[in-house]
């Protein structure tokens, strides 16, 4: 059994184990401890195979990525916010994608955004299709020794494969023929078909995709087979004459004949020292992901000084026109906004915040794409781009400040409170601000290769810090503080946030008015009854535990929490 087959078998073994764990653990929702356990098993299986067959893959960068993978999997045990769980899932998928970057012979810390995108596509393609290659090509089934347990195992599997349809046919006929026999079979195999189907489906999905991903990491950059050198013929032996050697060369390689010359002309030409050989053809350029640049693009697509000046000059003028209008509001404060005739605070805040966040998000890909398309042979073009891009970033920071001001107005003591769709864009803009500073320090200073790695880790850092912020609890705290200043409190919205917010809401329960207490009590009681029925170690989550404990320990709710059967449905009235 060769090394490639051994690696393939180990990948299959790990994938089968992960398939079983995926079905047993991740079928239970809501996710919590099960996500951490599955990712620990996945990382452990992958590292075990790497240590045995590809130890050079374990670089400081890949080890850091494995650490990030486990960190964001562990966040499922800590926080209950659906937005955070979605972000954690995206972070895990992104880390798994970046682990594919070394397969392109590029170090992850100097790879570009384009490399990360290709790595994502490559990892996804491997997860879906590489198992076909693993089973059909990588594992040399004929070379597997059929002795001992393996021999009997193959025989048993082959026998089961043959006899299963026969048993189903005869069994079905016997069940149809006798009611007593049918009852016995139903008692023995009292399994719902849909349950069997979901088990088989989840096992197959997790095992298949795990095998494909691991195959891409371990065997994706290796040739499928090696070509042995041609055996030496009699004429190629040391004792053969030069004419025999030339004749053999021409017979084995007809392309060696220049200009379709005959064998004799070829031999005579080789024996005549005055006849010059035609110059060798230049070798083709080898594709390397690490050296990819805009030379692969048509010249009409690349950007020269004129194009850069026109494009970014006009964009900067557009940004400047908006900034000039916004400066009075930025420095005039709330008084100017309120005293402007026919100007509504709600329209100013609501209309602008989402649009300005979108503008901020669009600038980054435009700058990255344009910088990649700038013609490198012209230093003037590069300098012009740096100047205009720097101006654009400065103007963008003013625009982002305007967006922040609108959010403050929208959620402040004269606003309408804080919600997830207002808080998370603000967190996203915080990350964008960090990325634009990093863009100026790397791309605009000629070190583009470090941009993507820093941007990735800044995103992971901001996401990790967001877990410590506890967004849902922060939203409830903010809205309760606004309520104490005289603003309306949306009890229905705040009590429908995740379990992360329940302890804060319970602790502030006595400060709510009677109507809000009734709404909060109803929603939290329904939540308690649902989660009490869904208790499972696989779904264990620290926030859910604290939420249940808070609801249990609150004397105002004790009587209601005892009777879950009397709780109205979600479509019921807002009162008991």
Q: For 392, how many CA atoms within 13 A lie in the half-sphere containing its CB?
A: 27
> What are the residues whose beta carbons fall under 8 Å from the beta carbon of 224, sequence distance 6 or more?
133, 137, 138
Same domain, 433 and 557: no
Same domain, 17 and 134: yes
Same domain, 94 and 212: yes
Q: Is 129 part of any domain?
A: yes
Same domain, 32 and 108: yes
Same domain, 111 and 214: yes
Q: Is 260 part of any domain?
A: no
Same domain, 341 and 383: yes
Same domain, 207 and 116: yes
pLDDT for residue 141: 75
CA gap 16, 530 in Å, rounded: 34
> What are the residues whose beta carbons fall under 8 Å from the beta carbon of 110, sequence distance 6 or more?
449, 450, 453
Same domain, 421 and 484: no
Domain stops at, among 167, 189, 219? 219
CA gap 562, 566 in Å, rounded: 10
Q: Is 512 part of any domain?
A: yes
pLDDT for residue 174: 85
CA gap 1, 144 in Å, rounded: 6
User: Which CA distances in Å does 517 have to 508, 525, 526?
Assistant: 10, 12, 14
Task: Note the residue count of the chain.
Answer: 576
Same domain, 454 and 506: no
Q: Which helix (H) or strand (E) holds 271?
A: helix 263-271
Phi, psi of 390, rounded to the nearest 5 degrees: -60, -40
DSSP string, 453-513: HHHHHHHHHHHHHHHHH-HHHHHHHHHHHHHHTT----HHHHHTS-GGGHHHHHHTGGGS-
pLDDT for residue 257: 47
Q: DSSP letter at 221?
A: T
Quick one: tokens of 368? 């990255």
For the chain, 576 residues long, give each residue's pLDDT as a single digit of tens: 688 888 999 999 999 999 999 999 999 888 999 999 999 999 999 999 999 999 999 999 999 999 999 999 999 999 999 999 999 999 999 999 999 999 888 888 899 999 999 999 999 999 999 999 998 888 887 766 666 665 667 677 778 878 888 888 888 888 888 888 888 877 777 767 677 788 889 999 999 999 999 999 998 764 333 334 444 444 444 444 444 554 444 444 444 444 444 444 444 444 444 544 555 544 445 557 777 777 777 888 888 999 999 999 999 999 999 889 878 766 655 565 555 544 455 556 566 677 888 898 999 999 999 999 998 777 888 999 999 999 999 999 998 888 888 788 777 766 678 999 889 989 999 999 999 999 999 999 989 999 999 999 999 999 999 999 999 999 999 999 999 888 889 999 999 999 999 999 999 988 899 899 889 988 888 887 777 666 788 889 999 889 888 887 765 454 555 456 545 444 333 332
Domain stops at, among 469, 500, 516? 469
Q: How many domains does the chain have?
A: 3
Same domain, 391 and 510: no
Q: What is the pTM of this model?
A: 0.79
Q: Is 49 part of any domain?
A: yes
Q: For 246, how many CA atoms within 13 A lie in the half-sphere containing its CB?
A: 14
Look up the domain containing 354 and give its range.
301-469
Q: Is 450 part of any domain?
A: yes
Q: Is 575 part of any domain?
A: no
Q: Is 263 part of any domain?
A: no
pLDDT for residue 573: 39
Collapse the DSSP code of 437 into the 3-class scheme (helix H, G, I; strand E, B; otherwise coil) and give the result. helix
Q: Is 529 part of any domain?
A: yes
Same domain, 463 and 434: yes
Helix-helix angle 420-442:345-373, to 10 degrees: 30
Quick one: tokens of 98? 């970046």
CA gap 487, 390 in Å, rounded: 42
Domain stops at, among 443, 469, 495? 469
Q: DSSP letter at 374?
A: B
Same domain, 331 and 428: yes
Neighbours of 113 (CB within 10 A): 17
Contact call for residues 118 and 102 (beta carbons, < 8 A): no
């Amino acid at each position: 059994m060769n090394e490639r087959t051994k690696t393939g078998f180990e990948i299959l073994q790990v994938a089968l184990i992960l398939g079983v764990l995926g079905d047993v653990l991740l079928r239970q929702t809501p996710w919590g401890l099960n996500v951490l356990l599955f990712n620990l098993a996945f990382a452990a299986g992958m590292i075990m195979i790497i240590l045995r067959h590809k130890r050079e893959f374990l670089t400081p960068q890949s080890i850091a990525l494995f650490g990030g993978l486990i960190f964001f999997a562990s966040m499922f045990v800590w926080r209950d916010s659906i937005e955070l769980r979605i972000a954690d899932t995206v972070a895990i998928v992104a880390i798994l994608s970046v682990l594919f970057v070394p397969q392109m012979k590029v170090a992850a810390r100097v790879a570009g955004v384009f490399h990360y995108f290709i790595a994502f596509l490559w990892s996804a393609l491997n997860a879906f299709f590489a198992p076909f290659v693993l089973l059909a090509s990588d594992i040399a089934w004929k070379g597997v020794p059929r002795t001992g347990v393996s021999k009997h195992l193959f025989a048993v599997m082959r026998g089961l494969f043959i006899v299963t349809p026969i048993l189903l046919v005869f069994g079905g006929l016997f069940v149809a023929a006798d009611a007593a026999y049918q009852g016995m079979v139903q008692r023995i195999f009292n399994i719902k078909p849909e349950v069997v189907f979901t088990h088989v489906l989840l096992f197959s999905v997790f095992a298949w995709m795990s095998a494909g991903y691991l195959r891409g990491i371990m065997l994706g950059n290796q040739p499928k087979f090696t070509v042995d050198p041609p055996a030496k013929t009699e004429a190629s032996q040391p004792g053969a004459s030069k004419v025999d050697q030339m004749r053999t060369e021409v017979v084995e390689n007809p392309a060696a004949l220049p200009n379709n010359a005959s064998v004799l002309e070829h031999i005579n030409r080789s024996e005549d020292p005055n006849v010059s050989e035609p110059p060798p053809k230049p070798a083709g350029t080898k594709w390397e992901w690490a050296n990819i640049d805009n030379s692969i693009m048509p010249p009409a697509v690349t950007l020269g000084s004129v194009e850069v000046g026109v494009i970014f000059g006009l964009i900067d003028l557009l940004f400047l026109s908006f900034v000039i209008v916004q400066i009075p509001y930025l420095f005039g404060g709330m008084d100017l906004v309120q005293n402007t005739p026919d100007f509504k605070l709600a329209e100013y805040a609501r209309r602008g915040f989402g649009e300005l966040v979108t503008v901020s998000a669009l600038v980054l890909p435009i700058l990255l794409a344009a910088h990649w398309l700038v013609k490198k042979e012209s230093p003037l073009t590069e300098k012009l781009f740096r100047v205009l891009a720097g101006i654009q970033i400065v103007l963008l920071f003013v625009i982002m400040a305007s967006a922040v001001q609108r959010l403050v107005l929208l959620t402040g003591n004269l606003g309408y409170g804080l919600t997830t769709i207002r808080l998370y864009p603000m967190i996203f803009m915080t990350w964008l601000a960090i990325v634009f500073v990093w863009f100026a320090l790397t791309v605009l200073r000629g070190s583009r290769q470090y941009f993507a790695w820093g941007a990735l880790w800044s995103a992971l850092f901001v996401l990790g810090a967001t877990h410590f912020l506890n967004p849902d609890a922060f939203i409830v705290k903010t809205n309760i503080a606004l309520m104490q200043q005289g603003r309306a409190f949306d009890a229905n919205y705040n009590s429908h946030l995740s379990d992360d917010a329940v302890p804060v809401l319970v602790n502030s329960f006595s400060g709510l008015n009677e109507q809000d207490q009734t709404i909060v009590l109803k929603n939290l009681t329904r939540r308690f009854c649902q989660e009490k029925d869904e208790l499972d170690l696989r779904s264990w989550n620290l926030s859910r535990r604290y939420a249940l404990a808070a609801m249990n320990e609150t004397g105002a709710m004790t009587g209601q929490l005892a009777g879950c059967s009397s709780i109205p449905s979600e479509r019921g009235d807002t009162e008991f």
